[in-house]
Amino acid sequence: MRRHHDMGGLDAGPVEQNEHDYAPWEKRVDAILRLLSAPGRRMITVDELRRGIEELGPGAYDEMSYYERWIASVTNNLVEKGTLTVEELGRKMAEVEARWDADRAAHKNSQEERAQ
Amino acid sequence: MSENGNDQQDGGHSHGHAHDHSHRHPFQPDLEDGGYSYYQVMTEAVAELLLEKAVITSEELRKTVESIDSKSPAFGARMVARAWVDPDFKARMLDDVIAAADELGIDAGGIPIKAIENTDRVHNVIVCTLCSCYPRLLIGLPPDWYKARAYRSRVVREPRAVLEEFGTSIPDDMEVRVHDSTADLRYMVLPARPKGTEALDEEALAALVTRDCMIGTAVPKSN
């Protein structure tokens, strides 16, 4: 049976020729994968990346953006290999979110002060 | 990043929260924009954990992003223009793209790339139906449509119709070959030199070679 990523030859709509400049976080995902897969490190192979992406399942595969799929796969691979734990990841994500929220609030305040 | 100061820091500045924002954290989402996504947070968290664990260094991360930014279709275009003016180079390029790139001081990476030549009888186009394999070191990061369902599904089955959507009409008597890339072998199209370009030098020729010409969804046009 054909899996969802194996789409060559299927029907689909017109090619939407939109493209966007990659955001810094997207390039960062790309850079992380390149570093982890580089000779000398080889902590994750392209095949492992793909397996992780294909395992996201049909819904996620189509709903997530390209680099969202990549970071989800990279992260799952790193957890599987024991490089990161789920707990560390959860703690760090909460920390990042709190920091960004604080930065945003501080930015908003300084803008309001300037406006007065 | 943690505030205990024992981890590698991006750009060398600490994230104690008393610091002023005269410089912005380089990977922070724009403060002005509408928010950040779960996966952006995940990306930052994974990067910071890898730095803290000294799996990678901030210097490597910065240099790798710079390297990604530095790759553009200009590299591939230079090779194409050289191939147009130098038949011996063309022969070497068709034989071994990576070695030919190296002659021009271009790093094409380690994964084999095959150049496929357009002629008056054959037009070539590339795709990766299973994922997104692409000769990125020679032509930069792929456009969104190259990675999207419509292109990947249809170009292997109705390439002429897809090429028409890109404004590229292939005459009925010209063969169209579609090359499906894999993680172990990528392709780039060596387009045909357009007529009326005899007077142009190599640099002017390279300017005619766009990214899409090397994907095969377009052909170079003499201005």
Question: Could you tell me if residue B24 is inside a domain?
Answer: yes
Rounded Cα–Cα distance for residues B90 and A21 (Å)? 32
- pLDDT mean across residues, chain A: 92
| Residue B23 sits in the same domain as residue B63 | yes
Least confident of A54-58, B157-161, B173-177: A54-58
Rounded to the nearest angstrom, the gap between the alpha carbon of residue B5 and the centroid of all alpha carbons in its chain is 37
| Residue B92 sits in the same domain as residue B64 | no
A vs B: CB pairs below 8 A? 159
Residue B28 has what pLDDT? 56
Binary contact (B47, A8; C-beta < 8 A): no
Q: pLDDT tens for residues A1-34?
A: 788 888 899 999 999 998 889 999 999 999 999 9
| Residue B104 sits in the same domain as residue B49 | no
Residues 6+ apart with CB under 8 A from B14: B1, B3, B5
Question: Could you tell me if residue B223 is inside a domain?
Answer: no
DSSP class of residue B144? H
Question: Could you tell me if residue B2 is inside a domain?
Answer: no
| Residue B91 sits in the same domain as residue B59 | no
Question: Could you tell me if residue B57 is inside a domain?
Answer: yes
pLDDT at A108 over 90: no
Binary contact (A96, B48; C-beta < 8 A): yes
Residue B127 has what pLDDT? 97
Question: Could you tell me if residue B46 is inside a domain?
Answer: yes
| Residue B81 sits in the same domain as residue B119 | yes
Q: pLDDT tens for residues A29-62?
A: 999 999 999 988 999 998 999 999 999 988 888 8
Q: Which CATH architecture has domain A24-84?
A: Orthogonal Bundle (1.10)
Q: pLDDT tens for residues A81-103?
A: 999 999 999 999 999 999 999 98
Residue B20 has what pLDDT? 40
| Residue B162 sits in the same domain as residue B189 | yes
Q: Which residue of A has its CA nearest to B152?
A: A8
Question: Could you tell me if residue B32 is inside a domain?
Answer: yes
Residue B34 has what pLDDT? 61
Q: Which residue of B has its CA nearest to A24?
A: B27
| Residue B15 sits in the same domain as residue B48 | yes
| Residue B76 sits in the same domain as residue B61 | no
Range of the domain at B113: 72-215
Q: What percentage of residues in chain B have a pLDDT greater than 90?
A: 79
pLDDT at A73 over 50: yes
Question: Could you tell me if residue B158 is inside a domain?
Answer: yes
Q: Among partner residues B39, B49, B152, which is closest to A71 by beta-carbon distance?
A: B39
Q: pLDDT tens for residues B188-198?
A: 999 999 999 99
Q: Which of A14, A35, A53 is nearest to B164 (CA)?
A: A14
Residue B122 has what pLDDT? 98
Q: pLDDT tens for residues B119-158?
A: 999 999 999 999 899 999 999 999 999 999 999 999 999 9
Cα within 13 Å of Cα(A99), Cβ side: 24
Task: Judge whether B120 is closer than 8 Å to chain A, CB to CB.
Answer: no
Q: pLDDT tens for residues B2-53?
A: 333 333 333 333 343 433 433 344 445 555 556 789 999 999 999 999 999 9
Residues of chain B with C-beta less than 8 angstroms from the C-beta of A89 = 42, 45-46, 49
| Residue B80 sits in the same domain as residue B117 | yes
| Residue B100 sits in the same domain as residue B123 | yes
Mean pLDDT, to the nearest integer, of A57-86?
94
| Residue B148 sits in the same domain as residue B172 | yes
User: How many domains, chain B?
Assistant: 2
Active site residues of B: 128, 131-133
| Residue that the structure tokens 């760090």 belong to | A92
pLDDT at B183 over 90: no
- CATH code for the domain in which residue B167 is found: 3.90.330.10
Given a contact cutoff of 8 angstroms between Cβ atoms, the answer to whether B127 and B155 are in contact is yes
Question: Could you tell me if residue B5 is inside a domain?
Answer: no
Binary contact (A99, B149; C-beta < 8 A): no
Residue A59 has what pLDDT? 86
DSSP structure string for A31-96: HHHHHHHSTTT-SS-HHHHHHHHHTT-HHHHHHS-HHHHHHHHHHHHHHHTTSS-HHHHHHHHHHH
pLDDT band at A112 (very low <50, low <70, confident <90, very high): confident
Residue B17 has what pLDDT? 40
Least confident of B22-26, B108-112, B160-164, B213-217: B22-26
| Residue B61 sits in the same domain as residue B109 | no
Determine which helix (DSSP H) or strand (DSSP E) holds B190, and give its type and residue range: strand B186-190
